[in-house]
Amino acid sequence: MTRELATDLIHHPYKPPEGFEAPQVAVHKASTIFFPNVAAVRARDWRYKNGYTYGLHGTPTTFTLEERIATLEGGKQCVLAPSGLAAIMLVDLALLAPGDEVLLPNNVYGPSRELARQELARWGITHRLYDPMDAAAFARAIGPNTKLVWLEAPGSVTMEFPDLTGLVAAAKARGVMTALDNTWGAGLAFRAFDVGLDIVMQALTKYPSGGADVLMGSVTTRDQSLHEMIKLTHMRLGIGVGANDAELMLRSLATLPLRYEAQDAAGRQLAGWLARRPEVLRVLHPAFEGAPGHAHWRSTCSGAAGLFSILIDPRYTAEQVDRFIDALRLFKIGYSWAGPVSLVVPYDLASMRGAGRGGLRGHLVRFSMGFEAVADLQADIAQAMALGLGDSEGA
């Protein structure tokens, strides 16, 4: 039977030779995936990685990324979501029902608290904030309806590092599920599952991407039935990831340990220099002696993210601090971290509830290390401080 060209262009007999191998994982793009026969359609089960059913439920590209993230986190199963926040939402929706309560640290990633305050509240799920630096108060905060506890180590603005082991043990003793936002640790600073956590979530947007150009989140588990609960909710919510984004992530993942270590070293160097500046009241970096929770960081971690905050002396006005930040040239003003460009964001301490904040004074400014030379970043801060903070009221 001869066919028309239009059909031949689609149903073409050529198949490339098998056995192609190259350093990067192939990008498989699909909504539709062909089944070999009717029996295969009837036998489909998208809970497991033993076949393909539909683009949203996995391709060789996304399966590969999930397996690599599971390995990174020290877990067994992983589900990808289109952003870190979507991964948080996925955990909340998979585990919580009306009447349940979720506990959040009072220094939690802000949008996670807003999700609880707005959406979860409308669906009859309540939340309570706890002080992650007060293990006794945390144990008291766990109530009969508490189903899930979120942890973060450290808080990503005020940088206090909690006693993860103690908090997880207290939750476990009450039969409460624990989930860690591991964006700061990136799977490298410490082995989250060894602490006893049930779920490890990460904003892959940050360190695994490293490019500040892709959004993605992951939810990793070690327990098959817990994974299946999350996977089924994921499927029903329809929050899969795009093939091009998965490709970017796979490509970046190879250099993750090198980048994490380099940005850690650069961050500590710059934070050490800032600690000696007369304009700076205090440096908030968990690897620094005297930082809130430093002893917990030391007993838990082998490294740190290139992320820290400083408290500028309160003798300066808020306008002076704004002028300092506006005068920075290499540091760009922007959210997120772990990309190639160093970033700065001012935070208003007065409007933030949270751990140890009672003891914090001054103007909080957070820095995220890029890949520029530290000497140039230092010079940038020095010139901006001279312009913005001047000498009239300062040192």
Question: Which positions touch ligand PLP (CB under 6 A)?
Answer: 83-85, 109, 156, 181, 183, 203, 205-206, 215, 217, 336
Sign of CA dihedral 36, 41, 45, 46: positive
E-strand ranges in the chain read 77-81, 101-105, 126-130, 146-152, 177-181, 199-203, 217-221, 280-284, 307-312, 332-333, 343-347, 363-368
Sign of CA dihedral 144, 148, 153, 157: negative
**Is the CB of 264 or the CB of 313 nearer to ligand PLP?**
264
**Is the CB of 111 or the CB of 314 nearer to ligand PLP?**
111
| Alpha carbon distance 138, 133 (integer Å) | 9
Least distance in angstroms from the C-beta of 345 to ligand PLP = 11
Least distance in angstroms from the C-beta of 76 to ligand PLP = 22
**Is the CB of 287 or the CB of 389 nearer to ligand PLP?**
287
**Is the CB of 174 or the CB of 353 nearer to ligand PLP?**
353
**Crossing angle of helices 318-327 and 374-388, rounded to 10°:** 140
Least distance in angstroms from the C-beta of 90 to ligand PLP = 12
CB 90 within 8 A of CB 239: yes
Q: Bridge partners of 126? A: 101
**Is the CB of 95 or the CB of 214 nearer to ligand PLP?**
214
The strand order across the sheet containing 363-368 reads 280-284, 307-312, 363-368, 343-347, 332-333
DSSP labels for 264-280? Answer: HHHHHHHHHHHHTSTTE
Least distance in angstroms from the C-beta of 94 to ligand PLP = 17
Q: Is residue 309 classed as helix, strand or coil in its secondary structure?
A: strand
Least distance in angstroms from the C-beta of 211 to ligand PLP = 13
**Is the CB of 162 or the CB of 217 nearer to ligand PLP?**
217
Angstrom distances, CA of residue 230 to CA of 29, 68, 146, 223: 24, 18, 19, 11
Least distance in angstroms from the C-beta of 93 to ligand PLP = 15
| Alpha carbon distance 170, 284 (integer Å) | 27
DSSP type of residue 358: G
Q: Which two tokens stand for residue 33?
A: 């995936």
Least distance in angstroms from the C-beta of 204 to ligand PLP = 7
Question: What's the start-to-end Cα distance of the chain, in Å?
Answer: 89
Least distance in angstroms from the C-beta of 244 to ligand PLP = 16
**Is the CB of 83 or the CB of 233 nearer to ligand PLP?**
83
Least distance in angstroms from the C-beta of 51 to ligand PLP = 29
**Is the CB of 77 or the CB of 205 nearer to ligand PLP?**
205
**Is the CB of 181 or the CB of 380 nearer to ligand PLP?**
181
Q: Which of 317, 361, 329, 364 is nearest to 345 (CA)?
A: 364
**Is the CB of 82 or the CB of 196 nearer to ligand PLP?**
82
Cβ-in-10-Å burial (0-12, 13-18, 19+) of 11 comes to exposed
Quick one: how many helices (H) and strands (E) in the chain? Answer: 14, 12
Q: Which of 265, 267, 262, 256 is nearest to 377 (CA)?
A: 267
Least distance in angstroms from the C-beta of 156 to ligand PLP = 4
Q: By beta-carbon distance, which residue lies closest to ligand PLP?
A: 84
